[in-house]
């Protein structure tokens, strides 16, 4: 993991916090988060990405089995409007894909207007450059023969998840390959320095944040080549060194991953920093048993016997770093710092 660069675009501001939270929960620091219309993003990224996922906005008719209230918002006219939007997004996404790359177009709609008709819009623009690849992972995902016959045979490789056959919500997926370079009408300044295949030589920690963390946690964080530690407000981030060149771009939101938060003069390690660097900790390491691990993940304090190690620690179970925690001054009680999104009262196992 954390090789290459993952660009995640979310045009809706109110959904950005959830996107950033999910990226950090997964420990991804090779990230660039952007917020702009997908069509406008194609102005900056040309024939570039190895993989593109377009989870297109749609009418949502595929989830009627879960929420019949959605039917009150659906109409043929709305599906046609969505089709126009989806064609523009798919053409833009296809342009950002490099020749030989792979694009996945997906919706939670089952209608041909929002799926096959959208692919026809792509073929109309880039006919000789589009390769529709077969989706083999879904069984019985095709259209009825009389409907499928209305479309080019190459679209038969697309697939649907049918609620009545697969016992889940409905969805559509198409895998698209690219056979040559495309052009875009509007070209903005090139952000490609961030996307170089080889890391550049940089001063990874010009402000010596590593030493400050070492003074507290007895280890100096390993900073991957091409990355740097930078303060952003009350937070410390690990990000690509080239991201500094993109701060003024209108679509830029953030790059990298939060690794610590400043509070009362002290940087508290984030959960993702514990996962990334926790194994480097030795002096401030506390091993806990399975019962204590379950309590930590339930968000509950538990009893410990740690007379010689108090204050902030990193908890481990079977050599797996779990979380940052605080041992009471008496060394007999511990309170964990497992994020709310990861807490559970039904923990049965840990995955390394």
What confidence tier does 201 reach under pLDDT thresholds 50, 70, 90? low
- pLDDT of 78 reads 87
The per-residue pLDDT for range 256-277, each reduced to its tens digit, is: 999 999 888 788 899 999 999 9
* Arithmetic mean of pLDDT, 11-18: 94
**Element (DSSP H or E) covering residue 17:** helix 16-25
Q: CB 249: neighbour CB atoms within 10 A?
A: 15
Residue 58 contacts by C-beta under 8 Å, 6 or more apart in sequence?
82, 86, 107, 108, 109, 114
Beta bridge partners of 287: 316
Q: What are the pLDDT digits (tens) for 289-317?
A: 999 999 999 999 999 999 999 999 999 99
Give the domains, in start order, of the chain with CATH numbers.
47-178 (3.40.50.150), 284-342 (2.30.130.60)
How much is the pLDDT for 198? 56
pLDDT at 120: 97
For 151, 170, 203, 324, the CA distances from 146, given in Å and listed in that order, are: 10, 20, 63, 60
Residue 227 contacts residue 213 (beta carbons within 8 Å): no
Give the pLDDT confidence score for residue 304 in this predicted structure. 95
Backbone angles phi and psi of 242, in degrees to 5: -75, -10
Mean pLDDT, residues 193-213 taken together = 72
Cα–Cα distance measured from residue 290 to residue 315, given in angstroms and rounded to the nearest whole number:
12
CA–CA separation, 173 vs 159, rounded Å?
Answer: 6
Q: What's the distance, CA 208 to chain centroid?
A: 29
Sign, CA torsion 319/325/329/330: negative
Q: What is the pLDDT of residues 326-344, one digit of tens each?
A: 999 999 999 999 999 899 9
Place 218 in a pLDDT band, splitting at 50, 70 and 90.
confident
Q: Lay out the sheet containing 257-263: strands in order across.
A: 227-232, 235-240, 257-263, 266-269
Contacts (Cβ under 8 Å, ≥6 apart) of 281: 217, 218, 219, 314, 321
* Predicted pLDDT of residue 194: 58
As a whole number of angstroms, the distance between CA 50 and CA 41 comes to: 16
Residue 219: pLDDT band (50, 70, 90) is confident
Angle CA 117–122–127, to nearest 5: 120
Which of 108, 302, 315, 323 is the catalytic position?
108
Give, as one character, the DSSP assignment of residue 194.
Answer: G
Q: What is the mean pLDDT of residues 224-244?
A: 88
Q: What is the pLDDT of residues 40-99, one digit of tens each?
A: 999 999 999 999 999 999 988 888 777 777 777 778 888 899 999 999 999 999 999 999
Nearest in space to 141 (alpha carbons), one of 102, 115, 120, 103: 115
Per-residue burial over 312-337, b if 16 or more Cβ lie within 10 Å, else e, is bbbbbbeeebbbbbebeeeeeebebb
List of residues 6+ apart from 209 with CB closer than 8 A: 229, 231, 236, 267
pLDDT category of residue 225 using cuts at 50, 70 and 90: confident
Mean pLDDT across the stretch 182-201?
Answer: 71
26 is catalytic: no
């Amino acid at each position: 993991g954390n090789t290459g660069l993952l660009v995640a675009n979310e045009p809706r501001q109110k959904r950005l916090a959830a996107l950033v939270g999910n990226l950090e929960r997964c420990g991804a620091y090779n990230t660039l988060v952007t917020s702009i219309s997908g069509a406008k993003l194609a102005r900056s990224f040309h024939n570039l990405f190895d993989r593109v996922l377009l989870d297109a906005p749609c009418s949502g008719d595929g989830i009627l089995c879960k929420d019949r209230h959605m039917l009150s918002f659906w109409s043929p006219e709305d599906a046609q409007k969505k089709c126009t939007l989806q064609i523009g997004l798919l053409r833009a996404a296809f342009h950002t894909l490099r020749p030989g790359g792979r694009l996945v177009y997906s919706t939670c709609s089952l209608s041909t207007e929002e799926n096959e008709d959208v692919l026809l819009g792509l073929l109309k623009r880039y006919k000789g450059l589009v390769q529709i690849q077969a989706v083999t992972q879904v069984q019985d995902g095709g259209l009825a023969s009389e409907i499928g016959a209305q479309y080019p045979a190459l679209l038969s490789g697309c697939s649907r998840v049918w609620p009545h056959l697969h016992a889940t919500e409905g969805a559509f997926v198409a895998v698209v390959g690219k056979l040559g370079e495309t052009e875009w009408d509007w070209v903005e300044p090139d952000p490609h320095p961030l996307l170089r295949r080889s890391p550049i030589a940089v001063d990874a920690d010009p402000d010596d944040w590593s030493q400050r963390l070492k003074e507290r946690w007895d280890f100096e964080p390993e900073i991957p080549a091409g990355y740097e530690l930078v303060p952003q407000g009350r937070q410390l981030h690990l990000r690509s060194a080239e991201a500094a060149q993109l701060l003024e771009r209108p679509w830029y939101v953030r790059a990298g991953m939060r690794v610590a938060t400043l509070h009362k003069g002290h940087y508290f390690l984030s959960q993702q920093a514990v996962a990334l660097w926790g194994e480097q900790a030795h002096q401030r390491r506390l091993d806990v048993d399975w019962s204590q691990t379950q309590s930590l993940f339930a968000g509950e304090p538990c009893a410990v016997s740690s007379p010689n190690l108090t204050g902030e620690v990193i908890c481990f179970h079977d050599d797996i770093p779990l979380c940052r925690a605080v041992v009471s001054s008496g060394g007999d009680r511990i309170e964990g710092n497992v994020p709310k999104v990861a807490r559970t009262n039904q923990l049965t196992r840990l995955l390394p």
